Homo-oligomer: A and B are copies of this chain.
Amino acid sequence: MHKTEATPEMKTPTRISQIPLSRQIKDFILEGISSGDLSPGDRIPSEAELAKHFSASRMTVNRAVSELTVEGRLSRVQGLGTFVAEFKPLAPLFEVRSIAQEVVEQGKTHSSVLLEAECEPATKQEAGRLEVETGTEIFKLQVLHLSDGRPIQIEVRLVVPKFAPLFLEQDFTTITPSDYLQKNVLFSEVEHKVDAVSAGEEIGQLLEIEKNAPCLRLVRRTWIGNEIITYVQLIHPGEAFRFTGRFTGPQNVKAMPC
């Protein structure tokens, strides 16, 4: 038999609901955040208030709120209160902003110049990059991207026609090749390589930098299944550009740095 003595006046909860009270409190707060009722920086009710509202003990509220804090949704300051955290990661697992986005987010205007857009047989090197037969007809594209009129990126792209037959018909001054592909072609795998190179004569001229200035070169290949869709080299003036990727594992994240 269990010893059943309720020492002071301890409320024995009837436990109507199956889901834990602390869980309900967490959900309540999360819903406030995602519905927009609570914006980042807003203060949420104090533990005491929440406890009253839910007829819960302060400890239970504390647990719920503490967990949300660990999870990064809230931010607490002793003596002051609890606030909705600025940060709301979620959604994209790995995001690389397109050049246009990046530029626009900095409050500048993006424009581009089409240097080359053709359909030609692949050279041996190009065929190797796309893993197709030499001589296969492929799309070749060269675009210079500008930020407020200043050269910021050279995009050299190869595309296998069968995955984006209408590719060359786009107006690449209004939509970047990346944005077009992103919106119109499914992919299953991406590989990046990043290295730093000297600009060299031709690129230096296009980017309006010294010919031995450091450049950041990002090479990306994109697959659907085991076939390559597109190969692209993005070359930036090194010190002027920054490539940023952000990776969020909502939970059960297993691995790390390098």
Residues of A within 8 A of B (CB): 7-8, 67, 69-72, 75, 85, 87-99, 102, 178-179, 181-182, 185-198, 212-218, 220, 222-223, 225-226, 230, 232, 234, 236, 238-239, 241-258
Closest partner residue, chain B, to A72 (CB atom)? B226
Closest partner residue, chain B, to A67 (CB atom)? B70
Q: Are A214 and B189 in contact (CB under 8 A)?
A: no
Which residue, of A92, A197, A247, A256, has the highest number of chain B Cβ atoms within 10 A? A256
Partner of A245 from B186, B192, B236 at Cβ < 8 Å: B192
CB distance from A187 to the nearest CB of B (A): 5
Q: Are A255 and B94 in contact (CB under 8 A)?
A: yes
Q: Are A91 and B234 in contact (CB under 8 A)?
A: no
List 6 A-B pairs, minimum CB-CB distance, nearest first.
A196-B238, A214-B214, A196-B216, A72-B226, A92-B254, A196-B196
CB distance from A26 to the nearest CB of B (A): 12
Closest partner residue, chain B, to A215 (CB atom)? B196
8 A-B pairs within 8 Å (CB atoms) are namely A91-B253, A182-B257, A186-B253, A187-B253, A188-B249, A196-B196, A196-B214, A232-B257
- Identical copies in the complex: 2
CB distance from A20 to the nearest CB of B (A): 12
Q: Are A246 and B189 in contact (CB under 8 A)?
A: yes
Q: Are B258 and A182 in contact (CB under 8 A)?
A: yes
Given the complex, which residues of B lie within 8 Å of A256, measured CB to CB? 94-96, 178, 181-182, 185-187, 190, 222
Closest partner residue, chain B, to A74 (CB atom)? B226
CB distance from A23 to the nearest CB of B (A): 13
Q: Are A96 and B190 in contact (CB under 8 A)?
A: no
Q: Are B95 and A254 in contact (CB under 8 A)?
A: yes
Q: Are B216 and A249 in contact (CB under 8 A)?
A: no
Given the complex, which residues of B lie within 8 Å of A96, measured CB to CB? 255-258
- With A and B bound together, what is the CA distance between A155 and B189 in angstroms? 29
Q: Are B195 and A85 in contact (CB under 8 A)?
A: no
Q: Are A178 and B242 in contact (CB under 8 A)?
A: no
- With A and B bound together, what is the CA distance between A83 and B84 in angstroms? 34
